[in-house]
Amino acid sequence: MRDPQLISKLKLSPEMFEDENARKFIEYVLDVGKVDLNEIYFKCRNDEDFIPTKTLSEIYNFDIADISYFMRDQSNILNDYVLVESTNKIGEYLKAPDDQALKVLIDEISDLQDLSIEKVNPTDSFLEEIMTNVLSDKPRQFIKTKYSNLDNKILGFERSQLNILAGRPSTGKTAFALNIMWRIAQQGYPTSFFSLETGGTNIGERLISMITNIPLSKIKQSQGLSLDETNKIMDAINQIKKLPGFSIHDGAVITPRDIREQAMQDNDKPHVIFIDYLTLMKSDVPMKERRLEVEKISRDLKIIAKETGCVIIALAQLSRGVESRQDKRPMMSDLRETGGIEQDAHFIFMLYRDDYYDQDLVDNETGKSDIEVNVVKNKDGETGVIQMEFYKKSQRFY
């Protein structure tokens, strides 16, 4: 109140103050964006739910308050808040302890510990990293898909990215994700596949079909397999088992907290996580409106990628609006339920096949489809279409 310009250095939020009047005051000045004594006094006189004028006068004349202690006082208040909140959270956990509640508690305590009023200028560290990359003899590390035409366009994936792979149902999203996952895993990166739509066994069968080039239908029937084919399947299973940090997860309910838990596992290389698919996920904080919930999930995944350094590739369904157009090639606006997805994503890939809409083009003999992988968003530059071949029978992309 004595030094209104200090509002620019106020780093605390209202709930961090024990005193109710202090909370009301901070809430008000943050809402109006300034400290005007006349307006504050006027509000005290006319708003019974606000601070009494007598209390306002006592605060203003508080002798110990000094501008030189402003940042230190904030630090003390924050430390007290963290201690009280941590104690409360632990108390809530002890009332009904279980595995899920423990995960929530760990996240909440971690968030409290990360609170800080100190703001340092990070520019020097960013510039130093750029300088190191430019002067280094080693090429910058990108996680390659090993599809050369695609890598030439996007360079590869990097830490802290949320990427979207979208398409209409049954266009080949899951198969393409598994192809990329396998190629990345073989380079030594820890990889995880979270499947909300398909059971883990089915995902495993599709992966083995892709590795061995044995038709998926034959593997699923598990009959009529030759000795050579059986040996190939066993060899593929052993290859999968030997990969470090390779995992497949299925579950009826998967939330961003499950993704964070996987991303935080210790490893020298960034974790690459696939989610099939994003709009089937549930938020850790359920919301009444599904569109807002999906936007929160997308934002949470972006934060997880940024905080842990992992790479997330989330599959997404496209709306039926595609079907009503003459040219059925998808656009970013076709992403279902939210525009927040296109905002948060670093890369957005969209799949399109002519034979998806024209049955006369379907090749039932070889199972081959010509498919377009359209890079519709690339924060670092080039977009455009990569022509590929998709063999549905063995789930392979070329």
User: Is pLDDT larger for residue 191 or for residue 283?
Assistant: 191
The reported pLDDT for the residue numbered 293 is: 85
Name the residue among 205, 242, 244, 175 with its Cα closest to residue 397.
Answer: 175
Do residues 161 and 155 lie in contact, with contact meaning Cβ atoms separated by under 8 Å?
A: no
Q: Are residues 167 and 269 in the same domain?
A: yes
Q: What is the mean pLDDT of residues 235-241?
A: 93
Name the residue among 202, 341, 193, 343 with its Cα closest to residue 279.
Answer: 341
Q: Are residues 195 and 244 in the same domain?
A: yes
Residue 120 falls inside a structural domain: no
Residue 9 falls inside a structural domain: yes
Task: Return d(Cα 18, Cα 393) in angstroms, integer.
Answer: 64
Q: Are residues 188 and 250 in the same domain?
A: yes
Task: Return d(Cα 167, Cα 315) in angstroms, integer.
Answer: 8
Alpha carbon 123 to its chain centroid, in Å, reads 25
The reported pLDDT for the residue numbered 398 is: 94
Domain boundary pick from 113, 128, 162: 113
Q: Are residues 91 and 155 in the same domain?
A: no
Q: How many residues make up the chain in this entry?
A: 398
Q: What is the mean pLDDT of residues 255-265?
A: 89
Say if residue 340's pLDDT is above 80.
Answer: no
Q: Are residues 30 and 153 in the same domain?
A: no
173 pLDDT band, cuts 50/70/90, is very high
Weakest-pLDDT range from 194-203, 261-270, 280-289: 280-289
Neighbours of 99 (CB within 10 A): 7
Q: Are residues 188 and 99 in the same domain?
A: no
Active site residues: 197
DSSP 65: -
120 pLDDT band, cuts 50/70/90, is low
Do residues 165 and 349 lie in contact, with contact meaning Cβ atoms separated by under 8 Å?
A: yes
The CA angle 329-389-357, to the nearest 5 degrees, is 35
Average pLDDT along the chain = 87
Residue 141 falls inside a structural domain: no
Name the residue among 64, 67, 65, 53 with its Cα closest to residue 25.
Answer: 53
In the chain, pLDDT over 90 holds for what percent of residues?
Answer: 36
Q: Give the residue carrying structure tokens 């596992």.
A: 265
> Model confidence over 341-352: pLDDT tens digits?
778 899 999 999
Q: Are residues 265 and 335 in the same domain?
A: yes
Q: What is the mean pLDDT of residues 140-156?
A: 92
Question: pTM higher than 0.75 for the full model?
Answer: no
The reported pLDDT for the residue numbered 48 is: 85
What CATH number is associated with residue 303? 3.40.50.300
The reported pLDDT for the residue numbered 139 is: 72
Range of the domain at 174: 148-397
Q: Are residues 79 and 175 in the same domain?
A: no
Task: Return d(Cα 84, Cα 87) in angstroms, integer.
Answer: 5
Weakest-pLDDT range from 92-106, 169-183, 383-397: 92-106
For 197, counting Cβ atoms within 10 Å of its Cβ (0-12 exposed, 13-18 middle, 19+ buried), the class is middle
DSSP string, 99-125: HHHHHHHHHHHHHHHT-------THHH
The reported pLDDT for the residue numbered 36 is: 87
The reported pLDDT for the residue numbered 122 is: 64
The reported pLDDT for the residue numbered 180 is: 97
206 pLDDT band, cuts 50/70/90, is very high
Say if residue 66's pLDDT is above 80.
Answer: no
Do residues 309 and 266 lie in contact, with contact meaning Cβ atoms separated by under 8 Å?
A: no
DSSP 327: S
Domain boundary pick from 113, 139, 164: 113
The total number of structural domains in the chain stands at 2
Say if residue 196's pLDDT is above 70.
Answer: yes
Residue 121 falls inside a structural domain: no
Q: Are residues 93 and 220 in the same domain?
A: no
